[in-house]
Structure 1
Amino acid sequence: MINFEDIINHQIELLRYAGKNSDTFTVITTLKKPYSKRPPNFIHDKIMMELSPYMVDYIVGIKEWPGTYRSGGSHTVMLTYRLCKNSRYLLEKLENWYLPLKNGLPEDICFYRKQRPWFGSVSHEKMAFMWNATESDLTNLENLSIKFSIQNK
């Protein structure tokens, strides 16, 4: 578990690090009407428009993603984006990803290495996690003075 307040305070540095050490990232949004439109409309379309060239996939009706399980919600969508220099720049340019409700952003940003989640958040619960953290990941947290606990390395 990672101290969420520390993440909020160091979000740019963390986005830079995660962006350089990940292949893709996901965020969670919601469909907006008309629901039958393909590709679908999302409530965060205007904000996410700049990232659209980097979208590689979306899953409509997702019920489970890193750190979260939902029993309902057929309008929940997970968007997957590839990471590159340009998409990292756009991530950093937007408001704090760890305060999505305040900033009108999609929730629960999660970063992936080799198609496996390694750094994710459950923003409405103010929780963040690292899975299979490397020494470099932990050193980065320490260098930023971000408090964390290791449950099983």
Structure 2
Amino acid sequence: MDTLVKGLIAGAAGTSALNLVTYLDMVIRGRGSSSTPQQAVEKLTDLADVDLGEAERAENRKQALGSLMGYGTGAGAALCYALLSARRRPPWPAGVLALTALAMLGSNAPLTALGVTDPREWPASSWVSDAVPHLAYGITAYAAYEMLRA
């Protein structure tokens, strides 16, 4: 199986794990979903001068596009990892940390660049809420990629 296909499958598995952990956190703590993906979509559509339609439809599209950006980030992080590790298998701790870092950077760097968030101002609880699902992504994407590689 091609490296890119394996990376995409690993990214899908990792993104599913990230979403599962995020939704469990929402259930356990009774918290709402993050609005940062929709805010990013709003900033990007403003920058690109794209009209998402009338108010209710625009809000629904922002929500959907925000979720799709998350899937794109998950796919992109695993694709980068697959390309970087195609010739040499890093030990599992390094692979998990690399995938976790790629996913966190892939989601937080654009949000920071757009001015939607600033991780430097996050309290510890926000870092934990961000890091734990991304670690689930890293573990799952690494396991999936290595199983496909075998």
What is the TM-score when the length of structure 1 is the normalising length? 0.29
Higher relative contact order (CA 8 A, sep 6+): 2
What is the TM-score when the length of structure 2 is the normalising length? 0.30
- Structure having the higher Rg: 2
More strand, by proportion:
1
More helix, by proportion:
2
